[in-house]
């Protein structure tokens, strides 16, 4: 589909507010806490710092943000319909962080 300029526009998939997604994925206890984290400039979407809680995110976006004493790097896999149990929330993202030093990863030959 071409836009007004005649250039092809990227396909628009499902999107969700960043603060709502962080809350649904159980990274923040409340949407207000998620919004404060974003407004304070602590969240990056695809390596770009964002300060608007209403920023749309979707599957494939990579988020970087502090959680406790660590920096989380995750890829959004799906958008949630609700804030469900933790097992449901874990299906919404993939953790891109390498395992901590000292944790052996099994080799593919084992």
Contact 62, 96 (CB under 8 A): yes
Q: Say if pTM beats, i.e. exceeds, 0.75.
A: yes
Write the CB contacts of 3 (distance below 8 Å, at least 6 apart in sequence): 9
pLDDT 10s digits, 74-100: 999 999 899 999 999 999 999 998 776
**pLDDT recorded at residue 58:** 96
Diameter of the chain by CA atoms?
56
N- to C-terminal Cα distance for the chain? Answer: 49
pLDDT 10s digits, 10-52: 556 789 999 999 999 999 999 999 999 999 999 999 999 999 9
For the cut 70, the answer to whether the pLDDT of residue 6 exceeds it is: no
Could you tell me the domains of the chain? Answer: 16-94 (3.10.290.10)
Q: Which residues pair with 95 in a beta bridge?
A: 74
Q: Tally Cβ neighbours within 10 Å of residue 74.
A: 20
- Give CA torsion, residues 73, 75, 76, 82, to 10 deg: -40
């Amino acid at each position: 589909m071409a836009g007004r300029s005649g250039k092809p526009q990227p396909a628009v998939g499902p999107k969700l507010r960043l603060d709502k997604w962080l809350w649904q994925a159980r990274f923040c206890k409340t949407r207000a806490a998620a919004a404060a984290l974003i407004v304070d400039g602590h969240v990056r979407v695809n390596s770009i710092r964002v300060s608007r809680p209403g920023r749309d995110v979707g599957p494939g976006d990579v988020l970087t943000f502090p959680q406790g004493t660590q920096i989380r790097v995750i890829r959004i896999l799906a958008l949630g319909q609700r804030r469900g149990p933790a097992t449901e929330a874990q299906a919404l993202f993939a953790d891109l962080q390498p395992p901590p030093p000292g944790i052996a990863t099994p080799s593919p030959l084992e």
